[in-house]
Amino acid sequence: MQKYFGLGLVLWMCVTVADASATVITYTVTDLPTGNQGTGLAPVASYRCNYFISGFTFSANKELDIQFSSALYGTLSNGIAGAGFDLMLVQPDNRPGLNWPGYYSLFALTDNPSLSQPFSVDVTFLGSSDPGAQAFSILQFDQNGTVVSTLETGFTAPASPGSVPEPASVSLCVMGLLAAGTGCVLKRRRE
């Protein structure tokens, strides 16, 4: 019975570690001066979206796409990405019948590009409040530029003030405590 309990514990820990390493993309939003000042037109809400990426290691030919709904976003501009990434901005298209989202797209040119560099884009926001979470996907491309698979999908989350989250550290700490406690229990059973 102990053999199966130990095997179950190892499997559970492997699943938890895999879950702990899920990509987390947080964001902050900064107000920018409104557009159309002095033109007689209604002001345009402009923001800078800053992104913080953790829990994922990029290798060459992997791409992160953050989606901007055409119902909520107008122009995307002034995209910034760190070294080792090819940045592309695709504008939202809200023409009748289309409603295609825009994208802030980071394509890794090298293995393990730094994620500590700034990632941001300026946006024109069409919604009634501040910009919120956006859908994202991580894609794997082959050497010919063809999408091979979608590695992960999710939603960005607001960053805690003054911090960039490290989700794996909490899960790893809990696993360490559980492993230590399980070791004590198994040792007592043997005695």
Q: d(Cα 101, Cα 136) in Å, to the nearest integer? A: 12
pLDDT value of position 129: 83
pLDDT digits (tens, 9 = 90+) for 19-67: 445 899 999 999 887 655 555 555 678 999 999 999 999 999 999 999 9
DSSP states of 47-80: EEEEEEEES----TTEEEEEEE-TTTEEEEEEEE
Using CB atoms within 10 Å of the CB of residue 103, give its burial: 0 to 12 exposed, 13 to 18 middle, 19+ buried: buried
pTM of the predicted protein model: 0.70
pLDDT(15) > 60: no
pLDDT(158) > 60: yes
pLDDT digits (tens, 9 = 90+) for 93-104: 877 778 899 999
DSSP states of 114-173: -SSS-EEEEEEE-SSS-----EEEEEEE-TTS-EEEEEEEEE-EEPPTT----HHHHHHH
Q: d(Cα 169, Cα 172) in Å, to the nearest integer? A: 5
- Do 131 and 102 touch, CB atoms closer than 8 A? no
pLDDT value of position 127: 87
State how beta strands 73-80 and 119-125 pair.
antiparallel
CATH 3.20.20 fits 46-164, yes or no: no
Domain spans of the chain, in order of start: 46-164
pLDDT(79) > 60: yes
